[in-house]
Amino acid sequence: MAILSICPHCGVRKCNVEGCRNPMLKRGLCGGHYRRLLRHGDPLAGVTGRGIPRRWLLDHINYQGGECLIWPFAKDRTGYGRVWNGRHMAVVSREMCQLTHGRPPSRRHYAAHSCGQGPSGCCNPNHIRWATPAENSADMVLHGTALRGAAVASTKLTEDEVHEIRALRGIVSQRDLAKQFGVSNSQICRIQAGTRWTHL
């Protein structure tokens, strides 16, 4: 920790951590260092050195183990690892797939996991391959990681309601069903035709 510093130009007090130029927020620290102090008990803890995650990724390109290789650094809210690729933050499994298998055949291809552990941060190069959207979706169903039906956060219907909608086909009009269940006419049509909620 350095002695309290004040910017000579604007008079704003700066963070006490040596080399930090951010304005002081609390207890002599900027927001970032103060949050680390609260979380780890040390304002310098919990920081990964620049370039270390990328080096770790490059060091594991030739990984030969059969078990999942879990990304030990930053992950997004879905559990997938994230790494700076020199241009932007990228999904680790996609970066690993590109490093080991070359560029994707198209922009629509996914880095698919044969282990089904992408949401756990797996980046084992032997578990990842380029796959079309349909192939990736099939993998997700196979591994039980596909969000379907009521598991999708934005869904308005329950499985029981879908069964009821299908049972009322030809008895109650689609317009009336749409009003009753608070969805569109086209949604009712697709449910009754079997192109939505296909797993039921």
pLDDT digits (tens, 9 = 90+) for 7-61: 555 566 888 887 788 888 888 898 888 888 888 788 877 767 778 899 999 999 9
Residue 191 buriedness (CB in 10 A; 0-12 / 13-18 / 19+):
buried
Q: Are 185 and 196 in contact (CB under 8 A)?
A: no
Tell me what pLDDT residue 3 has: 46
Beta carbons within 8 Å of 26's beta carbon, 6+ residues apart: 34
Q: Check whether 1 has a pLDDT greater than 50.
A: no
Same domain for 118 and 99 = yes
Domain, as residue range, for 162:
152-193
Q: What band does 144 get if pLDDT is binned at 50, 70 and 90?
A: low
Tell me what pLDDT residue 57 has: 93
Same domain for 165 and 132 = no
Q: Is residue 74 part of a domain?
A: yes
Lowest model confidence (mean pLDDT) among 67-76, 91-100, 144-153, 179-188 = 144-153
The total number of structural domains in the chain stands at 3
Same domain for 117 and 67 = yes
Q: Is residue 199 part of a domain?
A: no
